[in-house]
Chains A and B, each alone.
Chain A
């Protein structure tokens, strides 16, 4: 079983739609959770950190459920420019370090 799992999609949605992605992680001792965005043939860039109480940044809302070991990302009012791959990242304990560990990403395509 992979340490961080995501549905690869693609999620194909019209402009203005609301779309949600989930990500599950296997290590209950994981600390720190993030969503990164990666455009085609570009490097990953931080979209938002995920806090225990949940957090919102404009049209984006992230939630963490430690009991069920999953993270979610909700995008409201989708824009064409939201088309990208969304990577779930969990810092997982390895030795004395916490290593950012990536899921395989969920592809989002927003169409007119």
Chain B
């Protein structure tokens, strides 16, 4: 499967615990995005990488959230001291370089439930 892969698909955690999600983009894509989606809403942008550089972070991204893409390939998103409001679907997308009209391909997401 050469699409965007996310792991795990589901995560249930207790409030206050830390969680880490992984995203493997399509191999030749140098752009990588993280989004969060709650029921009835569209995906909300969290952060963007071009290769290993984190170029943009949303104001939504509190200090408890951190993302890395150490070698410009896979990326991780960590949430520290989870809160119930963090419960959502976390989506990763990747796209190729070559202008602004390139399609972003999404992974199937990681559904986080904080109890």
Q: Which segment of A14-22, A44-52, A57-65, A68-76 sits at the interface?
A: A44-52
Interface membership of B62, Cβ < 8 A = no
Question: Are B55 and A100 neighbours in the complex by a CB distance under 8 Å?
Answer: no
**B interface, size bucket:** 20 to 34
- Is the Cβ of A97 less than 8 Å from the Cβ of B42? no
Q: Which residues of B contact A (CB under 8 A)?
A: 33, 35, 40-45, 48, 50, 55-56, 91, 93, 100-101, 103-109
Question: Shortest CB–CB separation between residue A87 and chain B, in angstroms?
Answer: 5
Interchain nearest-CB distance for A28 vs B (Å): 15
Chain A binding surface SS class? strand
CA distance A87 to B42 in the complex (A): 7
Partner of B107, one of A43, A98, A101: A43
Number of A residues whose C-beta is below 8 Å from B? 27
Known: A32-B100, A100-B33. A43 touches B48 (CB 8 A): no
Contacts of B40 in A (CB 8 A): 8, 104
Task: Name A residues whose Cβ lies closer than 8 Å to a Cβ of B.
Answer: 4, 6, 8, 31-32, 34, 42-46, 49, 87, 89, 91, 94-105
Residues of B within 8 A of A49 (CB): 101, 103
Asked if A45 and B44 sit within 8 Å, CB to CB, the answer is no
Which chain A residue shows the least CB distance to B109? A43
Q: In the assembled complex, which residues on chain A have CB atoms less than 8 Å from the CB atom of B107?
A: 43
Which residue of chain B has its CB nearest to the CB of A48? Answer: B103
Contact A104 B93 (CB under 8 A): no
Contact check, B108 vs A100: say whether CB atoms are below 8 A apart.
no
Q: How far is the CA of A95 from the CA of B101 in the complex (A)?
A: 18
Contacting A43 at CB < 8 Å: which of B42, B45, B91, B101?
Answer: B91
- Contact among B35, B42, B56, B106 with A94 in the assembled complex (CB-CB below 8 Å): B56
